């Protein structure tokens, strides 16, 4: 007999959130930003933070999940994954994250599992599928500087700074409708060549791809360059995006019979 307590959420979709490698003092940690975890919850899912894993762990980890949420990070995707040397050696990398998130993305999309990527999550997904990145968007002729300024207050850093134009016929039009969306911008890398088969979902005024989906994958997929997790509960567009992802994860859970009661509820 289940010992479920009504106040405990039951049958929430489980969403894997790959952690980032961080140094806290002299010691290495694996960490995920609270605002991302809150955003997964806002979408109606249960975040499961996963420390840096091995490619061979991907299938076992996905067997626990109903979706995957790739967070932003101050670290860059290593440029060797798109055939380049590091342009600015002063910028942080996270090869432990790269090593498993790139194969993770390919398997999630092969299975048709729901995928939501933010900022670095968009970049590593494009690279995982064979696309390339600008390592320094601001150094490209004709492109804007998409970075934030460390000296600005955090609400300014994550405040809206430019529009993105939603493209016709994709996920963003379905979820948000057509038109322009004001978004924040905190990135030095950006999409140079969109991987084959990806659908550009939104463009910045300088033409940079700021969101894409993966039509070949049977499930929900959306990666955005901006940060909808920032104050998501106050932003109607962010809430719609996160809710759409959460509903896709719920549908995955139901379709794969992962929403039956667990009679092996822990003894109290």
Ligand X SMILES: N[C@@H](CCC(=O)NCCCC(=O)O)C(=O)O
Beta strands 209-213 and 221-224 are antiparallel
Please, which of residues 5-64 interact with ligand X by CB under 6 A?
Answer: 33
Q: Please report how close the Cβ of residue 218 comes to ligand X at its closest, in angstroms.
A: 27
Sole window of 53-61, 71-79, 191-199, 258-266 interacting with ligand X (rule: CB under 6 A): 71-79
Show the binding pattern over residues 156-185: x = contacts ligand X (CB under 6 A), - = does not: ------------------------------
Considering the rule CB under 6 A, would residue 135 count as an interface residue with ligand X? no
Considering the rule CB under 6 A, would residue 131 count as an interface residue with ligand X? no
Sole window of 166-174, 187-195, 201-209, 252-260 interacting with ligand X (rule: CB under 6 A): 187-195
Q: Please report how close the Cβ of residue 156 comes to ligand X at its closest, in angstroms.
A: 14
Query: Using CA atoms, how far apart are residues 119 and 198, in angstroms rounded to an integer?
Result: 16
Among 21, 76, 167, 185, contact with ligand X (rule: CB under 6 A):
76
Q: Which residue's Cβ has the minimum distance to ligand X?
A: 72
Q: Please report how close the Cβ of residue 112 comes to ligand X at its closest, in angstroms.
A: 26
Q: Please report how close the Cβ of residue 212 comes to ligand X at its closest, in angstroms.
A: 15
Distance linking the first and last C-alpha atoms of the chain: 12
How many residues lie near ligand X (CB under 6 A)? Answer: 13
Considering the rule CB under 6 A, would residue 119 count as an interface residue with ligand X? yes
Q: Are 79 and 31 in contact (CB under 8 A)?
A: no
Considering the rule CB under 6 A, would residue 117 count as an interface residue with ligand X? no
Residue from 145, 219, 237 nearest 185 by CA: 145
Residue from 244, 220, 219, 239 nearest 229 by CA: 239
Query: Using CA atoms, how far apart are residues 105 and 247, in angstroms rounded to an integer?
Result: 20
Q: What is the DSSP string of 167-224?
A: PTTSHHHHHH-SEEEEE----S-EEEEPPTTPEEEEE-TT--EEEEE-TTSSS-EEEE
Among 125, 189, 213, 217, contact with ligand X (rule: CB under 6 A):
189
Rama region for 194: left / alpha / beta (φ>0; ψ in -120 to 50; rest) = beta
Considering the rule CB under 6 A, would residue 253 count as an interface residue with ligand X? no
Using only the alpha carbons of the chain, give its radius of gyration: 18
Annotated catalytic sites, by residue?
Answer: 119, 227, 229
Among 53, 186, 224, 232, contact with ligand X (rule: CB under 6 A):
186
Considering the rule CB under 6 A, would residue 187 count as an interface residue with ligand X? yes
Considering the rule CB under 6 A, would residue 188 count as an interface residue with ligand X? yes
Measured CA angle at 217 (ends 75, 115), to 5 deg: 40
For binding to ligand X (CB under 6 A), which residues are involved? 33, 72-76, 119-120, 186-189, 227
């Amino acid at each position: 007999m289940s010992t479920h307590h009504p106040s405990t959420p039951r049958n929430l979709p489980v969403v894997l959130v790959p952690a980032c490698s961080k140094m806290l003092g002299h010691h290495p940690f694996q960490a995920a930003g609270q605002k991302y975890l809150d955003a997964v919850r806002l979408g109606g899912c249960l975040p499961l933070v996963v420390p840096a894993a091995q490619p061979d762990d991907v299938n076992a980890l996905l067997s626990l999940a109903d979706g995957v949420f790739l967070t932003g990070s101050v670290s860059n995707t290593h440029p060797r994954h798109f055939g380049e040397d590091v342009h600015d050696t002063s910028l942080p990398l996270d090869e432990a994250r790269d090593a498993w998130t790139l194969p993770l993305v390919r398997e999630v999309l092969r299975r048709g599992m729901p995928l939501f990527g933010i900022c670095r999550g968009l970049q590593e997904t494009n690279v995982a599928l064979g696309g390339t990145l600008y390592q320094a968007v601001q150094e490209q002729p004709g492109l804007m500087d998409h970075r934030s300024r460390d000296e600005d207050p955090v609400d300014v850093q994550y405040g809206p700074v430019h529009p993105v134009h939603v493209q016709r016929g994709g996920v963003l039009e379905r979820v948000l409708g057509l038109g322009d969306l004001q978004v924040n911008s905190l990135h030095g890398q950006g999409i140079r060549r969109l991987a084959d088969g990806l659908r550009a979902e939104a463009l910045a005024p300088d033409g940079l791809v700021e969101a894409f989906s993966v039509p070949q994958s049977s499930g929900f997929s959306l990666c955005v360059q901006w940060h909808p997790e920032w104050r998501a509960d106050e932003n109607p567009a962010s809430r719609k995006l996160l809710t759409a992802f959460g509903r896709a994860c719920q549908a995955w859970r139901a379709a794969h019979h992962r929403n039956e009661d667990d009679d092996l509820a822990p003894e109290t």
